[in-house]
Amino acid sequence: MKRREAIDKLTGREAYIDDIAIAGVWWGCTVRSAVPRGRIRDIRFGAEIDWSEFVVVDHRDLPGPNQVAMIENDQPVLASDRVRHIHEAVLLLAHPDRDRLREARRAIHIEIDEEPAIFDYRVPPPADTVQHGGDNVFKRVRIDKGDVDAALVAADHVVEGVYETGAQEHVYLENQGMVGYVEDGVVTVKGSMQCPYYIHAALRHALARADNEVRVIQAATGGGFGGKEDYPSVLALHAALLALKAERPVKILYDRDEDMAATTKRHPARVRHRTGVTSQGRIVAQDIEVLLDGGAYVTLSPVVLSRGVIHASGPYHCDNVRVEGRAVLTNAVPFGAFRGFGAPQTIFACERHMDVIADELGMCPLGLRRKNLIQDGQSTSTGQVIRDGTDRIEILDRAVRDAEFHQREAADRAFNSTHPYLRRATGIATFYHGAGFTGAGETYLDSRAQVVGLATGEVEIRTANVEMGQGALTTFVKIVAEKLAVEPDRIRVAEVDTFHVPNSGPTVASRTSMIVGRLLERGCDALCATLGGDWTGDKFERELLRWHAEHPGQELIAEVRYEPPPGVEWDDERYEGSAYGTFAWATYAAHVEVDLRTFGVRLLDFVAVQDVGTVLDEVLAAGQVQGGVVQGVGWALMEECQFVDGAMANHNLTNYSIPSSDDVPPVRVVFYETPYAHGAQGAKGIGELPMDGAAPAIVNAVARATGARPAVVPLTPEVLMRVMGSA
């Protein structure tokens, strides 16, 4: 099937928010704090500007509470008396001319009496930097399975390791952008986003408006990767406040510098492992500590931590597991959602640590993994019994075969012994990724989707899930077309507009195809039930037309709600039970070449083998995997957020390097398809999984090639030089 929006995107017809002309629009911009923490003493407006031309908004203009509604409402929409991070929004300006707006922004001086700030999340906060609770800890999570202390004492070997991962910038192609306007008394925002109903809730809360007094419309969205999960709520509030005060539409578009400086990044993390193993390589105890840098406000840190902690012990069976997780405050620009959502951090640590354990035991890293991979009937760290029929050993073996692991090992050994400065090796990572919201999250979301039978005989899909480059539009159409056996061009997809589509939940957590797709299948069933039979194809269309002939002027809407799969139970207090409805499983293999002159790492080959349940669309699925791997390559080797006082110093694409096409070989993608009974057509989540595996596979390969033990990403050449110097 042809991708729905392909021609519009290829021809440039697709209208992103920057492209949408709006009559009478003014431009908005944000005046931000230049210091990481302090009390606002004074705001001076330069005399060189005629301020009567401008609309100026500050915290006093909020009709409701000065809070961005999220997990905890601790983040102000606009700072009132204090700031907690550089680039924190203090004022908003609007003006018809963008150049004048820039001049005006430069003419505003926010004077702040600085207070002590904390930037290193790894150290205990000095008393004068405590800003949240009594200890700056946003969230604690603990998993306790079996008796870890006794098992560590009884183990033949205990292997320890500390692993650190850096922040990462999303680098969606389209920067953040939003327009706000008031239409018939309804505050409306339109822009680039993943979660229209998160924004809807944030607008209702801070603007003190009823459900039907705010409206959120998604414009074409050029990439999100989690960067448009939480931050657009802030931006939408800013655009709405300016529009309310200006009494006209106001558009805010971030340029790349502002976007990279002021919006969220992946949480930096440190993970400690203490692992008890038998001499034969059986893992008997895992003692793990996960620490996340949350930045200055809570945002999504608790749930990022939750996913990180649950994935920390890896796809292995162990009777004794303890994971202690904390997300802590620093005076950095808040960290937020990013593809993988905490799992890439802890999976990097776990998989790197597996190779270290293999080294310590003198075992083959493949053998160590084969011995410990979860088998059907065994359980994860939360006690979730896995019984999904996936052949996890075969996934590993397939990656080993396709990557020619053993043949290359011999060839690389010969190459390495003769080449003056190049060193090659293959590294692998085995991992899993839970699909959908964690724990009872999907139940709380209570998602609804609609399948509508139109009077034209066509079918309309109504969800709040967005196309952002991943192909959701196409996948949804395919699911419904195949379910009803009708032509894809007989299916429409409603614009994502909270006035017209129900809340089917956010477009995050690898949930869209699996969970919302399944809702659409059930919606088709419900529609057919109204039509009195299990119709398909031409018969379906005839029945639909007949219904409309019998019910002139009426709408035929089949709405379904999420129902948790049977047997899925979660104890959020004890962190026990079914953390996810299902998991996708994978083994990735990276063949690398390290240049000992420059300490640069070149990727020679990459094999990605995974079981994601039924593959709904081969091209889109492979695209997700390849894109995720490339994003992982960047995180592993070059994407370094350099922080100065909690703000990114290299907030531009000149000094923040993402992989170019020259840096990545073809990514060879293999799917196994063990169907999941509760996903659309048997699909599991796929979007985030590929972000998890590249970094550990690559760094394991570098370790094998050089004999060093790198434990950090990004493993830039400068870092590798230091690691090798101390090896």
Partner 1 sequence: MTILLPGTLTDAYRMLSDDPDVTPVAGGTDLFAHWPENRVKQSTTYLDLSGLAELRSMRWTKSELVLGALTTYWDVVTDARVAAEFPNLVTAARQVGAVQIQARGTWAGNIVNASPAADGVPVLLAYDATVRLGSRDGVEDIPLDEFYLDYKKMRRRPDQLVTEIRIPRRTYQRAWFEKVGPRKSQAITKVGVAVTVAGETWRIAANSVAPTVCRCPALERYCAAVAGAKGQPLTSPSDLLPAIRSDVSPIDDIRSTAEYREQVLARILFHALNDAGV
Which CB sits closer to partner 1, 258 or 688? 258
Looking at beta carbons only, is 557 or 724 nearer to partner 1?
Answer: 724
Closest CA to 79 of 299, 397, 252, 296: 296
**Shortest CB 34 distance to partner 1, Å:** 16
Out of 19, 113, 128, 255, name the contact with partner 1 by CB under 8 A.
Answer: 255
Which residue's entry shows tokens 């840190």?
Answer: 301
Q: Are 203 and 232 in contact (CB under 8 A)?
A: no
For position 605 contacting partner 1 by CB under 8 A, the verdict is no
- 109 lies in the binding site for partner 1 (CB under 8 A): no
73 touching partner 1, by CB under 8 A:
no
CB of residue 638 vs partner 1: minimum separation in angstroms?
5
Task: Name 408's Cβ contacts closer than 8 Å, sequence gap at least 6.
Answer: 424, 426, 591
3-state secondary structure of 416: helix
Q: Which is nearer to partner 1, 71 or 422 (CB)?
A: 422
| Residue 17: C-alpha distances to residues 20, 197, 305, 455 (Å) | 5, 18, 33, 32
Q: How far is the CB of 235 from partner 1 (least distance, A)?
A: 19
Q: How far apart are CA 87 and CA 29, in angstroms?
A: 12
The residues, any chain, with a CB within 8 Å of residue 380's CB and separated by 6 or more, are: 310, 313, 374, 386, 579
Closest CB to partner 1 among 251 and 274? 251
| CA gap 272, 345 in Å, rounded | 11
The verdict on 721 binding partner 1 (CB under 8 A) reads yes
Site for partner 1 contains 100 (CB under 8 A): no
Q: Provide the mask over 636-665, with x wherever binding to partner 1 is found by CB under 8 A and - wherever it is not.
A: --x---x------xx-x-xx-xxxx-xx--
Distance CA 216, CA 195 (A): 10
Residues 660-699 that bind partner 1 (CB under 8 A): 660, 662-663
**Near partner 1 by CB under 8 A, which window of 495-503, 563-571, 699-707, 713-721?**
713-721
Min separation Cβ 657 and partner 1, Å = 4
727 forms part of the interface with partner 1 (CB under 8 A): no
Q: How far is the CB of 259 from partner 1 (least distance, A)?
A: 13
Do residues 336 and 300 make contact, with C-beta atoms less than 8 angstroms apart?
yes
Collect all residues with Cβ–Cβ distance below 8 Å to 14 and sequence separation of at least 6. 5, 8, 220
Q: Which residue has the tokens 């059930």?
A: 522
Q: How far is the CB of 204 from partner 1 (least distance, A)?
A: 35
Q: Print the binding letters for residues 553-592 with partner 1: x by CB under 8 A, - otherwise.
A: ----------------------------------------
Nearest distance in Å: CB 118, partner 1: 23
User: Which residue, 370, 341, 376, 346, is CA-closest to 358?
Assistant: 370
596 touches partner 1 (CB under 8 A): yes
Considering the complex, what minimum distance in angstroms separates the CB of residue 518 from partner 1?
A: 40
Exposed (0-12), middle (13-18) or buried (19+): which is 60, by Cβ within 10 Å?
A: exposed
Cα–Cα dist 142/324, whole Å: 5
For residue 88, CA distances in Å to 61, 84, 565, 647 come to: 17, 7, 42, 10
CB of 652 to partner 1, least distance (A): 8
Q: Which of 310, 344, 335, 338 is nearest to 325 (CA)?
A: 310
Q: Does 168 bind partner 1 (CB under 8 A)?
A: no
| Binder of partner 1 out of 279, 569, 597, 618 (CB under 8 A) | 597
Q: CB of residue 718 vs partner 1: minimum separation in angstroms? A: 5
Nearest approach in angstroms of CB 260 to partner 1 is: 13
Residue 254 CB, nearest distance to partner 1 (Å)? 12
Out of 39, 41, 44, 106, point to the residue binding partner 1 (CB under 8 A): 106
Query: Distance between CA 713 and CA 574 in Å, rounded?
Result: 31
Interaction mask 420-459, partner 1, x per CB under 8 A? xx--------------------------------------
| Pick 141 or 698: Cβ nearer partner 1 | 698
Among 95-103, 500-508, 552-560, 682-690, the segment contacting partner 1 (CB under 8 A) = 95-103
Is the torsion defined by CA of 410, 411, 416, 417 positive or negative?
positive
Assess 717 for contact with partner 1 (CB under 8 A). Answer: yes
Q: Does 102 bind partner 1 (CB under 8 A)?
A: yes
Of the candidates 54, 5, 497, the one whose C-alpha atom is nearest the C-alpha of residue 246 is: 54
Q: Which residue carries 């039924």 as its tokens?
A: 614
The enclosing H or E element of 453 equals strand 448-453
Q: Residue 302 — φ and ψ, nearest 5°?
A: -60, -40
Overall size of the chain counted in residues: 727
Q: Judged by CB under 8 A, which of 213, 257, 324, 388 binds partner 1?
A: 257
Of the residues 116, 600, 623, 665, which one makes contact with partner 1 according to CB under 8 A: 600
Q: Considering beta carbons, is residue 96 or 577 the nearer one to partner 1?
A: 96
Task: Tell me if 164 contacts partner 1 by CB under 8 A.
Answer: no
Site residue total, partner 1 (CB under 8 A): 31
Q: How many CA atoms lie within 13 A of 678 on its CB side?
A: 17
Q: Which residues of the shown chain bind partner 1 in the complex (CB under 8 A)?
A: 99, 102-103, 106, 255, 257, 420-421, 596-600, 602, 638, 642, 649-650, 652, 654-655, 657-660, 662-663, 716-718, 721
